[in-house]
Amino acid sequence: MRPTDAELYRLAEHAGQLLQASGRVLVTAESCTGGWVGQVITAVPGSSAWYVGGFITYSNTAKQMQLGVLAESLTDYGAVSEIVVKEMASGAIECSAANVALAVSGVAGPGGGTADKPVGMVCLAWLMDDGTGMQTTSYFLGDREAVRAQAVAAVLQGLIELLKAHE
């Protein structure tokens, strides 16, 4: 089910409150969401205090050139993999003044899916500059917009969980 814009805003606002309270600053690395996470975050007044910016790395070349994702990872595992989103998050921290990163890459559809990586498969990662982090793979239902919106909600919810675990 597609989250509403109001629900996405509340997630971003909550993440921002946790980031600000902890003195942490976020950077985003997005592929299939195309900057939607950054858009939701920057809709929150005062987000410049806890959000440094983001990378939209839609192509494999951009992932390599902007975030330092390894060619071998892309070849061996594909852009939609937990290995690659972890490298995206790591590269985002290394290329910014942030100390927390999130990353997302997936198959939003309507085409592009395979038996191994169906439409709706999205890989998510979260990383702190001390190396603490997590990654997961989710499978969302619906059309392209619904998959992307669910990915935005999931990556923000995961960020909230990571920050709460490190309060």
Is residue 154 a part of any domain in this protein?
A: yes
Number of domains observed in the structure of the chain: 1
Read off the pLDDT of residues 11-68 as tens digits, 9 standing for 90 and up: 999 999 999 999 999 999 999 999 999 999 999 999 999 999 999 999 999 999 999 9
CA nearest 101: which of 149, 66, 71, 77? 66
Phi and psi at 26, nearest 5°, equal -100, 145
Is residue 6 a part of any domain in this protein?
A: no
Q: Which residues contact 23 (CB under 8 A, 6 or more apart)?
A: none
Average pLDDT over residues 63-85: 98
Domain that holds residue 145: 26-165
CATH number, domain of 112, equals 3.90.950.20
Instruction: Count Cβ neighbours within 10 Å for each residue of 101-129 and write b for 16 or more, e otherwise.
Output: bbbbbbbbbeeeeeeebebbbbbbbbbbe
Is residue 12 a part of any domain in this protein?
A: no
Is residue 49 a part of any domain in this protein?
A: yes
The pLDDT score that the predictor gives to residue 78 is: 98
CB 100 within 8 A of CB 129: yes
- pTM, two decimals, is 0.97
Is residue 16 a part of any domain in this protein?
A: no
